[in-house]
Amino acid sequence: MASEREVRAGLQRAGQEHLLRFWAELAPGPRAALLAELAPLEPEALREHCRRAAAACALPPGPPPDLAARLQPLPPERLGSVSRSDPETRRRWEEEGFRQIALNKVAVLLLAGGQGTRLGVAYPKGMYRVGLPSGKTLYQLQAERIRRVEQLAGERRGTRCTVPWYIMTSEFTLGPTAEFFKEHDFFHLDPANVVMFEQRMLPAVTFDGKAILERKDKVAMAPDGNGGLYCALADHHILEDMERRGVEFVHVYCVDNILVRLADPAFIGFCVLRGADCGAKVVEKAYPEEPVGVVCQVDGVPQVVEYSEISPETARLRASDGGLLYGAGNICNHFFTRGFLQMVTRECEPLLKPHVAVKKVPHVDEEGNLVKPLKPNGIKMEKFVFDVFQFAKNFVAFEVLREEEFSPLKNADPADRDSPCTTRRALLAQHYRWALQAGARFRDAHGAWLPELPSLPLHGDPPAVCEISPLVSYAGEGLEVYLQGQEFQSPLILDEDQARVLQPPES
Ligand code: UTP
């Protein structure tokens, strides 16, 4: 453990000695905690971090002036699309994905270090229940999809296989997530195949480049963004762990998309067959101003350009087929080969430019009084997971249907988008569609038939409540055996027990 003198000397070198200004008032416990927090901050890196934050914040806001001229959509040869490909092609992608999963070459990696400030709950977002009839949390849905995809791949290839689950957490989410998994018996996954690791934290900084004290004995720290993944992979030797297990392909995703298809065989298969080292799933933007990043090229290099950096005129441009020219919305679902991750962590990580977020950061004033600022007073610096696309040798994008694969939980109810209500609705509407496609029919409480597929609205609550456990169906497959020609009254909860009841007896 570093001494006060050593830490003070380091802070002096970094121009941040003010972080110890309440030292004399602190009791031994808080003193030790503060030293433990400060000791790992390497002086040169801390100085540079604070300098960069203040400098980045001083830049004028808005898009770089010449961006529009440098922008191009992804060329068609880099794009695959679920809706624009024929069934045979889709089958080949899926088959290849299942093959790789069955060979134990595929892992999933969850980015779960965020603070979820917009949702505003005091626990990790993955532990959130959006109000499904089953009461399942996001973590449970994901765990069950892993189990199901392992089962499907295993059955196809006549083998048993494992999709290891790597979970990047942060100081905020590691403890409660680990506890939650233990409490729930790892949702029946083998704990040896669930690997949690922690990303780094960085101090929040004032506009004039001073790290902020949240309390007299605590620096205001925030996780270093989901692009902190690359440092965290190196810090915790995660790629070595993947190598030991024979993992070659990694599906990286965000915690908050309730429809996420973990280790999606079609996506994996498409990327593998294209020989890609890096890939991104995209959905068509719903409207030109939709606030999602766009996967495109800048000076011929693949990138995600943030919606705020694209002018309204550029955002409205149309391609010859009538779709938006810059319509490939990023949904934080990425494919990486282990080799690519190795190269990025070893060589490219320092080249990733941090992004600046200006936030209200609670802090103590000169007298040590707690201040909750009413306007933004601090800078948080974050790296983004997708900023590595520029280093890919063979980047591809894979377009999927939004209503099947993307509904993120960002805001608290009653927000009109990306809320518990909209995500719950998206999942239940999807399951209702799956049930109808499998040949089920539903009646309302008075016995009247409910709408069938052609008249089913894409938005709003589905006519009947239908929830299908991921353990029964991963993406709508295999439901006919339980549902074909059957009538149900809402709600239908198709979990493993119900599936057993509905399964016709073997002749
Ligand atoms: P968001 O940018 O939506 O952030 O994260 P958030 O923390 O979930 O929510 P807000 O902005 O505070 O309301 C997108 C994904 O990246 C992860 C999140 O956990 C989420 O899966 N993330 C974000 C990290 O893993 N680490 C970070 O430092 C930031």
Pocket of ligand 1 contains residue 114 by CB under 6 Å: yes
pLDDT at residue 2, as a whole number: 87
Closest protein CA for atom 28 of ligand 1: 225
User: 251 and 109 in contact (C-beta within 8 Å)?
Assistant: yes
Pocket of ligand 1 contains residue 126 by CB under 6 Å: no
Longest dimension (CA), the chain: 81
Structural domain 75-355+383-404, CATH architecture: Alpha-Beta Complex (3.90)
C-alpha of residue 229 to centroid of ligand 1, in Å = 12
pLDDT at residue 504, as a whole number: 80
Pocket of ligand 1 contains residue 113 by CB under 6 Å: yes
Query: What's the mean pLDDT in 253-265?
Result: 98
Does position 109 have pLDDT exceeding 70, yes or no?
yes
pLDDT at residue 452, as a whole number: 75
Mutate to test the pocket of ligand 1, among 226, 252, 380, 418 (most ligand atoms within 8 A of CB): 226
User: 327 and 285 in contact (C-beta within 8 Å)?
Assistant: yes
Closest protein CA for atom 21 of ligand 1: 254
C-alpha of residue 367 to centroid of ligand 1, in Å = 33
* Both tokens assigned to 412: 């608290």
Does position 249 have pLDDT exceeding 70, yes or no?
yes
141 burial level (CB within 10 Å; 0-12, 13-18, 19+): buried
pLDDT at residue 458, as a whole number: 57
What's the pLDDT tens digit per position in 366-417? 999 999 999 999 999 999 999 999 999 999 999 999 999 999 999 999 999 9
Indicate the angle between helix axes 265-273 and 87-102, nearest 10 degrees: 90
Stretch (H or E) spanning 71: strand 71-72
Separation between Cα atoms, residue 217 and residue 20, nearest integer Å: 8
- Start-end of CATH 3.90.550.10 domains in the chain: 75-355+383-404
Pocket of ligand 1 contains residue 222 by CB under 6 Å: no
Pocket of ligand 1 contains residue 232 by CB under 6 Å: no
Q: Give alpha helix (H) positions in 312-357.
A: 312-316, 338-343
C-alpha of residue 22 to centroid of ligand 1, in Å = 32
Q: Which of 231, 339, 236, 328 is nearest to 286 (CA)?
A: 328
- Start-end of CATH 2.10.10.100 domains in the chain: 420-502
Identify the residue whose tokens are 């917009």: 118
Mutate to test the pocket of ligand 1, among 110, 111, 423 (most ligand atoms within 8 A of CB): 111
Query: What's the mean pLDDT in 111-137?
Result: 96
What's the pLDDT tens digit per position in 307-327? 989 999 999 999 999 999 999
Identify the residue whose tokens are 């692009």: 227
* Both tokens assigned to 444: 């309302």
Identify the residue whose tokens are 């002036």: 65
What's the pLDDT tens digit per position in 405-459? 999 999 999 999 999 999 999 999 999 999 999 999 999 888 889 887 655 555 6
Identify the residue whose tokens are 């080292």: 277
Structural domain 420-502, CATH architecture: Ribbon (2.10)
Separation between Cα atoms, residue 353 and residue 376, nearest integer Å: 22
